[in-house]
Amino acid sequence: MTENEREAMLLALDDELLKGGVILSEWCTFITRDADTSFIHGAFLACILTSVAAIETHLRSECSEAKRMRLEQLIDAAQLESDLTADLHRLRRYRNR
C-alpha cells in the first residue's frame, strides 16, 4: 500500500467513524495525528505505540480516578463492549512486548 493509499484509507475511516463529532482533548488529538502520520509513512511500530498512548490519554480524560490507574485498569473501567475491551488488552500486551 502506498502512502497516498494509506492516507486515503485514514480519511475514509474518519468520514465513516467520526460522524456527529468526537470530543478529544488537544493533547489526545496531537498524539492521534502523530499516529496517523506514522501509519501513512509506514512506521508501523511507531503507529502502534502512539495509538496506544492516544487511547490511554483519552481513557484518562474520561475517568475521574485515572491518575493512579494503569492502562489495564483504565480499559476495564471504561465499560466498553467486551470485544473492544479484548482488542484493547491485546493491543496493550503487544505494546508491552
- Convert the pLDDT of each residue in 55-96 to its tens digit: 999 998 888 777 789 999 999 999 899 999 999 999 999 988
Q: What is the mean pLDDT of residues 29-36?
A: 93
Label residues 71-81 b or e (16+ Cβ within 10 Å = b).
beebbeeeeee
* pLDDT at residue 21, as a whole number: 65
Number of domains in the chain: 1
CA–CA separation, 34 and 45 (whole Å): 12
Could you tell me the residue range of the domain that residue 9 belongs to? 3-96
DSSP H helices in 1-97:
3-17, 26-40, 44-62, 71-77, 82-96
Q: Label residue 22 by pLDDT band (50, 70, 90).
A: low
Q: Give percent of the chain above pLDDT 90.
A: 64
pTM: 0.82
